[in-house]
Amino acid sequence: MTPEIMLQQEFGSIPELIRLHAQGRPHHPALIQGERTISYEELDHLMDRVAASLQREGLYAHDVIAICATTSIEYAATFLGALRAANAVAPLSPSSSPESLLKMFFDSGAKLFFLDTVVAGMMKAVNMPASLKCISLDDSSAGTSFNSWLMQTDAKPKPVEIEPDAAFNIIYSSGTTGTPKGIVQSNRMRWSHVNRGVLYGYGPDARAIISTPLYSNTTLVSFFPTLACGGTAILMEKFDPATFLALAEKHYATHSMLVPVQYKRLLEHPDFDRRDLYSYRMKFCTSAPFSANLKAEILKRWPGGLVEFYGLTEGGGTCMLVAHEFPNKLHTVGKPAPGHDIRLIDRNGKEVSAGEVGEIVGHSPAIMNGYHNQPGKTAETEWRDETGKRFIRTGDIGRFDADGFLVLTDRKKDMIITGGFNVYPSDLETLLIQHEAVAEVSVVGVASDRWGETPVAFIVLRPGSRATAEQLLEWANSQLGKIQRIADVRLVSTLPRSEIGKILKRELRDQYKPAITR
């Protein structure tokens, strides 16, 4: 079988695709990290050694390993090797607290812990079980050295069947709103991501820069299609605009998945317009609100197409905005992807009428199995139509325009209820960002003795601006309706963000102490 034929199948195996690429183009580069390059043949052999080593450790199909480390070739090969052994992977965020990491590790049921020296240093703050076997991907003293743990170079794993509905990975939520939940994605769900890769120009000559961490679903929806389609993944240990631009030019990059804050930093870099980026075919964005102005600037200054994905790690349904084809729809997140069913429901679970605002729910082949060990939480996030069809609730509020494009209004949990009326922070943010002094803004609801909740704006000023909080407050409230008026403006140097660029609104709420009465 050829990779092309397998990619046309309803279901296939990513490890098997890599094997086929290794047989057909053994010397083609698969992974690049700095000055290191490994070919498909070398990656295939390394995956075999990882899979065989896991089997030697007594891991069987459906068992789980956890990885918490900086992006590296060893990280990628361990993830892929575990898949070849039909194991599931729990990629954990090094930015989590040691306590949270330990909870996620035990929740996943992982049998082995792959980490590096930085994470090992963090984990000294908690009591790690003496029986827990750790393998250090950087060959440090964090655990058993990865290279000494691997079986000999010609080791072959016992063949195992990769079942479509078995767990591929367990992606843990950020935990910014409470205890992290493990999102179980199946092999079938990941295969659907690979299937669509061909549509976006992924292929044997694709060169994708992987600049977000490998524990993030944002990263994996680009990483796996790159390798499954026979391309080259260029790994960045940490995002830096100057390094990214240099890599893009050096390797004639064709694809990148970036979050909005990365696009902003790249476009602001003094080298951006001096770099040759004409090799780009397609750029992608997801995970955080993507302003129409930023999309327009990317289309103007960065060659190649631009596609925005709107959806959840939980899956359920995705909308796509092919921005270069619909430049008049940049204020939307596009239309439902082919085969995806997106609907809007009210607070009682009833579908809303055309043009009305509602909570977004979605169904598609890319849908999570559920939250690991949390059937109650899984049930809470599900909605079923009259036929029993299963949808995932997004918690986002939106409406469809007359052309069927989805316009996001806000996060349901971020909606401010002030005096019994709904106020959407995104409406206030859209106004404030228009002020010439405002570089970034986030609006949150804080407790109010009088109104229950009231809006407060956190603003990062543009360099050189001398605008005051009082001036911005007066300017905004002069244009807002009485119910929408902002109670306070706080000027900050930066907005707190997750590693994939999401503004951490909970942190903003927590740091706002004064009681508000207006």
Could you tell me if 137 and 10 lie in one domain?
yes
Distances (CA, A) of 456 to 444, 472, 513: 6, 12, 12
Could you tell me if 111 and 78 lie in one domain?
yes
Q: Choose the final residue of a domain: 411, 427, 450.
A: 411
Token digits of residue 263: 């696009």
Give the model's pLDDT for residue 199: 85
pLDDT digits (tens, 9 = 90+) for 249-298: 999 999 999 988 899 999 999 999 999 999 999 999 988 778 899 999 99
The owner of tokens 């690991």 is 372
Give the model's pLDDT for residue 515: 43
Residue 174 has pLDDT above 80, yes or no: no
Give the model's pLDDT for residue 175: 43
pLDDT category at 153 given cuts 50, 70, 90 is: confident
Could you tell me if 17 and 125 lie in one domain?
yes
Per the model's pLDDT, the better-predicted residue between 207 and 313 turns out to be 207
Q: Choose the final residue of a domain: 238, 264, 297.
A: 238
pLDDT digits (tens, 9 = 90+) for 84-124: 999 999 999 988 888 889 999 999 999 999 999 999 999 98
Query: Which DSSP letter does residue 498 get?
Result: -
Could you tell me if 116 and 47 lie in one domain?
yes
Distance CA 165, CA 370 (A): 12
| 451 assigned to some structural domain | yes
Could you tell me if 101 and 126 lie in one domain?
yes
The stretch 344-367 carries a mean pLDDT of 92
Q: Choose the final residue of a domain: 212, 238, 264.
A: 238
| 261 assigned to some structural domain | no
Could you tell me if 459 and 402 lie in one domain?
no
**Contact between residue 350 and residue 358 where contact means Cβ atoms under 8 Å apart:** no
**In angstroms, how far is CA 507 from the centroid of its own chain?**
20
| 211 assigned to some structural domain | yes
Give the model's pLDDT for residue 370: 95
Percent above pLDDT 90 for the chain = 75
Give the model's pLDDT for residue 176: 38
Residue 178 has pLDDT above 60, yes or no: no
The stretch 443-456 carries a mean pLDDT of 85
Rg (CA), the chain: 23
Residue 392 has pLDDT above 80, yes or no: yes
Distance CA 254, CA 207 (A): 5
Could you tell me if 68 and 7 lie in one domain?
yes
CATH code at position 355: 2.30.38.10
Distance CA 449, CA 298 (A): 44
CATH code at position 496: 3.30.300.30
| 36 assigned to some structural domain | yes
Could you tell me if 20 and 103 lie in one domain?
yes
Could you tell me if 74 and 116 lie in one domain?
yes
Give the model's pLDDT for residue 198: 84
What is 13-66 written as a DSSP string?
A: -HHHHHHHHHHHSTTSEEEEETTEEEEHHHHHHHHHHHHHHHHHTT--TT-EEE
Token digits of residue 79: 């993830």
Prediction pTM value: 0.84
Distance CA 35, CA 447 (A): 53
Could you tell me if 15 and 97 lie in one domain?
yes
- Mean model confidence pLDDT for the chain: 92
Give the model's pLDDT for residue 76: 98
Could you tell me if 174 and 32 lie in one domain?
yes
What is 412-472 written as a DSSP string?
A: GGG-EEETTEEE-HHHHHHHHTTSTTEEEEEEEEEEETTTEEEEEEEEEEPTT----HHHH
| 244 assigned to some structural domain | no
| 375 assigned to some structural domain | yes
Indicate the range of 22-26, 241-245, 303-307, 405-409 predicted with least confidence.
405-409
The number of domains in the chain is 3
Indicate the range of 177-186, 262-271, 279-288, 398-407 predicted with least confidence.
177-186
Interaxial angle between packed helices 217-228 and 14-24, expressed in degrees from 0 to 180 and rounded to the nearest 10: 40
Could you tell me if 371 and 233 lie in one domain?
no
Give the model's pLDDT for residue 447: 83
CATH code at position 219: 3.40.50.12780
Q: Where are the alpha helices (DSSP H) in 150-302?
A: 187-197, 217-228, 241-250, 260-268, 292-301
Task: Give the domain extent around 349.
Answer: 340-411
pLDDT category at 518 given cuts 50, 70, 90 is: very low
Give the model's pLDDT for residue 480: 85
The CB-side HSE value for 498 (13 A sphere, CA atoms) comes to 23
pLDDT category at 514 given cuts 50, 70, 90 is: low
